[in-house]
Amino acid sequence: MVHWSDVIGARLVEQRPDHLVNTGITPSGEFHIGHLREMLTGEMIARGVRKAGGTAELCFIIDSADPLRKVYSFLDEAYAEYIGVQLFRIPPPDADGKPDLAAFESGTTYADHFLAPFLEALDMLGVRPRLVYNHQAYAEGRYVEHVRTALQQRDRVRQIIEEISGRELTADWWPYSPVDERGCMDGLKVTGFDDTHVHWQAEDGRTGSCDYTVGEGKLPWRLDWPAKWVWLDVTCEAFGKDHGTTGGSYDTGAELCRLFGAEPPEGLTYEWISLRGQGAMSSSAGTTVGPIEALRLVPPEILRYLIASTKPAKAIEFDTGMGLVNLADAYERLLRHDLEAKLEDEELSRRKRVAIEDDISATRLSSVEERNDRPGAVGVTFRHLAMLAQIRSSDEQVWDMIPNEGVDRREFDARLNRMRHWISSHHFPDEMRVGIRDKPNAERLADLTPEEEALRMALIRNFEASLETGWNEANLSANVPDAAREVELPLREAYRLTYELLLGVDVAPKLAPLLAAMEPERVLHLMRGE
């Protein structure tokens, strides 16, 4: 197999048998599905390692020691007093964006508030990493030797960052960010250090010291990241393109990792996920679709497939409208096909063989539970289920209308519930909406031309005949074309009239599946005008 996760997994196992695949995110705001790309990419690499015969653990670093950078759009101005304070030291926002002091006193921090739904989504996706809160790691002394090295070799650290990044650091720059008695980093200038403390002076003249052996303060990002690699023994990490640019934080981190006494992990740069029509997702800007929101729309397998089927270096545009329909239907089609049998064709071109192998791996990786085979099909396309969910209010009726032999009922019900949620949301595309009329279109019936009236009567006869032969898509598909030929009207006009009498619009989804999903009595009632 040549899937990107298999290639990386095999390469890692060639280097050593055991691996730690790392991920990390700052919980500064709502997590979005862009963050899922990092987590799922890492998790799929870990699966690739295990598939190649090695062992692999996925680690998720929560950068809870980072400070609040600004008052984001979703926060009340009351958070201005917390700017510069570490996220684990400040209260979570309430429903109005104001600091929830009661929740904070009960033990819930700002970081916890945004992390909880993300962890719930990860669990639904089958991603269950080892969690490491970096403020706890600092307090436990995990970074002590790296902090000490950075302070003692300040000039060398400066040289590495300036030479690789091309940026010039200020004369008073230090490779450590101390905190004051409030846990705030803003406005503090390092004045010196000793074997356990960093000394500082505030803009208002205050002076103090923080004990870095117990986590008072932290390394700046460009040093914090390689320090994590060393003490965790990270062997691979996927990261966004902002970190993977030439002279970016991975390049400086690799050299700083060597300064700390270890070789850097294998890096994999991934592109961002953007929201169709709105650009790159951003928690701070509020341009997001949250993981839980996304999982209310589609099964976790579809989100996993979105990541698995796209090479990491390719950008993803997440479309909650028709793009989502097309993605889900493409996934369902792949599950219905015997892709493994296609590989047995000796005349298959290399390009097609590679594409099929990629499809096999992508659908295998879409499974929430790690497996060697591919999951089974659900039995109904996303597009058809969307129509059934709008026409039939009873889940039992929908279940009876699909080829459900061998289909897991619980999985189907879960997918149907998500479909109903999607239909009720603003994400559902207008072109997919189906509204069957409650009563006949009296206005249109009164305005029929003689040719249209003849067509209506021919349609009624054909629909009545389908009651005898079987009210199904196969029998109903010829009703409109046959009626149009009988009265010598253009087929387009025949379809238009049928839609107007049944739906009140002249354009709609494919008619035969729609008719098959409707109760026959309702179709005849609307066509007869009774």
Cα gap 9→53, rounded to integer Å: 9
Give the end of a domain, one of 432, 457, 472: 432
User: Mind listing the pLDDT tens digit for each residue in 238-280?
Assistant: 999 999 999 999 999 999 999 999 999 999 999 988 876 665 5
User: Could you tell me if residue 353 is inside a domain?
Assistant: no
Cα diameter, the chain: 98
Per cent of the chain over pLDDT 70 is: 96
User: Could you tell me if residue 344 is inside a domain?
Assistant: no
On whether both 408 and 471 belong to a single domain, the answer is no
Q: Is 80 exceeded by the pLDDT of residue 505?
A: no
User: Could you tell me if residue 502 is inside a domain?
Assistant: yes
On whether both 427 and 459 belong to a single domain, the answer is no
The pTM assigned to this predicted structure is 0.83
User: Mind listing the pLDDT tens digit for each residue in 437-463?
Assistant: 889 999 989 999 999 999 999 999 999
Q: What is the CATH number of the domain that holds 486?
A: 1.10.10.350
Q: Average the pLDDT over 369-395 and give the result.
A: 82
Q: Which residue has the higher pLDDT, 346 or 237?
A: 237
Q: Is 70 exceeded by the pLDDT of residue 161?
A: yes
Q: Is 60 exceeded by the pLDDT of residue 519?
A: yes
Give the end of a domain, one of 368, 402, 432: 432
At residue 471, φ and ψ (nearest 5 deg) are: -85, 80
User: Could you tell me if residue 406 is inside a domain?
Assistant: yes
Q: Is 80 exceeded by the pLDDT of residue 414?
A: yes
On whether both 447 and 425 belong to a single domain, the answer is no
Q: Is 90 exceeded by the pLDDT of residue 13?
A: yes
User: Could you tell me if residue 463 is inside a domain?
Assistant: yes
Cα gap 210→213, rounded to integer Å: 9
Give the end of a domain, one of 432, 467, 491: 432
Q: What is the pLDDT of residue 346?
A: 80
On whether both 457 and 493 belong to a single domain, the answer is yes
The DSSP-derived string for 486-524 is HHT--HHHHHHHHHHHHTSSS--S-HHHHHHHS-HHHHH
User: Could you tell me if residue 178 is inside a domain?
Assistant: no
When pLDDT is cut at 50, 70 and 90, the band that residue 50 belongs to is very high
Q: Is 60 exceeded by the pLDDT of residue 222?
A: yes
- Choose among 240, 243, 229, 230: nearest CA to 165: 243
Give me the domain span that covers residue 523. Answer: 442-528
**E strand map for 170-318:** 188-193, 197-202, 207-211, 236-240, 266-270, 273-275, 279-280, 316-318
User: Could you tell me if residue 461 is inside a domain?
Assistant: yes
Cα gap 35→234, rounded to integer Å: 20
Residues 6 or more apart whose CB falls under 8 angstroms from that of 421 comprise: 296, 297
Domain count, the chain: 2
User: Mind listing the pLDDT tens digit for each residue in 273-297?
Assistant: 887 666 555 555 555 677 878 887 7
On whether both 428 and 458 belong to a single domain, the answer is no
Q: Average the pLDDT over 117-139 and give the result.
A: 95
User: Could you tell me if residue 464 is inside a domain?
Assistant: yes
